[in-house]
Chain A
Amino acid sequence: MNEHTNEPHWLKALKACLPLMISYLPIGIAAGILLKTGGFAIWMIVLVSLFVFSGGAQFLIASSIMTGTPVFTITLLLFFLELRYALLGTSLSKYLKNESKPFIFRFSFSMNDENYAVNYLKFSTDKKWSATDALMVEYFSLLSWTVGNIIGGLLGTKITIDLPIVHFALTAMFLYMVTMQLKRRILFVPVVISVVVSVLTVVMFKSTLGLIVATLVSATAGYFLERYLKANYSDSAMLKRIKNPRAREMEQLSEAEN
């Protein structure tokens, strides 16, 4: 990662956000197609993309309007679907301590899993990454998402999209994020626990609430294991760092973390 001190904020944010923007286009198109098929007008698709801005929520809305689910039920389902955003906001909060309340409002309004992932990585690896940059990442991703939805809405039923394949763009992005985060061996523990617990609880609750359970359980397990090892076996192999093939470039980054 090169240092471009005089790079304008928007360009820095655009560069960080570009892979996400490209991934969002096909998925946005798929969401737009489904919403249009469900009976949403184009301007309604624009509204929902701007104000709800969540892939999962928009797919849920599309399938709910097709089946004529009551508005109250949809709202409740959406609330439980989106509850995990509480975790995103909580974990980013340490980087946004000095921001005003209106800024926090604007920032949280357009935050979702994907732009959080981009911003968390930037905050934790780039000392110069600012709240303004992060907000711009959100707006760039919002732009690409909305454009994708509009294209999908205009295409309507003229085209079919293989949703599981397109959706894998996001899965791949999260796989990338986990790989980047795995800097210490001990982090494999929450990873394994999270896989098992999330599959079991998501299936059990028949809802993404299971994701919250899995996240809390596995993060807590990791935290306590680290405390236990540090107190009792401070030279444990589990506490070692993981080799990074690009360590040199990353050196400055890990410094930023400490």
Chain B
Amino acid sequence: MDAETKRHLMIVFFGMVAALIPRYFPMLFFTTRKVPTWFNEWMNYMPVALFTSLIAKDLFVDHSYHMTFTNYNMYLAALIVVIFAYYTRSMFLSVMVGLLSVWGFALLLAAM
């Protein structure tokens, strides 16, 4: 095995371990224990909070971790996705409409 393959295998192995620790241990801890009611009530807020933070990062932070407020095609597409999601309640439609509109608006804005 050459050095590069070895290095790549190490990256994959350590990457697996690094991803597994936060995936496994908290879940193991909380599934094998009785948790108080307040904890579950608190956890009810977790998905909305987490998904929103992921969206905000996608829309307002670029790949070199700078704030950006010029992804106009994404903001317009995001608005359309929310409206579509609210009325259709279909994940598939929402994603497809989102992709189409983010692409369409990018072209449109580039042409302007």
Contacts and interface: CB of A to CB of B under 8 A. Distances in A.
A, B: real partners: yes
Contact of A41 (B5, B29, B59): B5
B85 A218 contact: no
Contacts of A84: 22, 50
A198 B45 contact: no
Contacts of B28: 101, 104-105, 108
Q: Which of A41, A177, A207, A210 has the most CB of B within 10 A?
A: A177
Interface in A91-150: 91-94, 96-97, 99, 101, 104-105, 107-109, 111, 113, 117-118, 120
Given A61-B15, A108-B20, A175-B55, 16 more contacts: A41-B5, A41-B8, A44-B5, A52-B15, A71-B11, A78-B15, A82-B23, A86-B23, A94-B40, A165-B106, A171-B98, A172-B97, A173-B95, A199-B67, A218-B52, A219-B43
B8 A44 contact: yes
Interface residues of B, number: 75
Contacts of B57: 198-199, 202, 208, 210-211
Nearest to A206: B65
Interface in B1-45: 4-5, 7-32, 35, 38, 40-45
Interface in A157-215: 162, 164-182, 187, 190-191, 193-195, 197-199, 202-203, 206-208, 210-211, 214-215
Given A168-B77, A173-B91, A203 B15 contact: no
B40 A107 contact: no
Nearest to B91: A19
Nearest to A52: B15
B106 to A, nearest CB: 6
Nearest to A216: B49
Interface of B: 4-5, 7-32, 35, 38, 40-61, 65-67, 71, 74, 77-78, 81-82, 85-87, 89, 91-92, 94-95, 97-99, 102-103, 106
Interface residues of A, number: 101
Contact of A219 (B5, B12, B45): B45
Contact of B51 (A76, A181, A220): A181
A176 B53 contact: no
A91 B43 contact: yes
A23 B26 contact: no
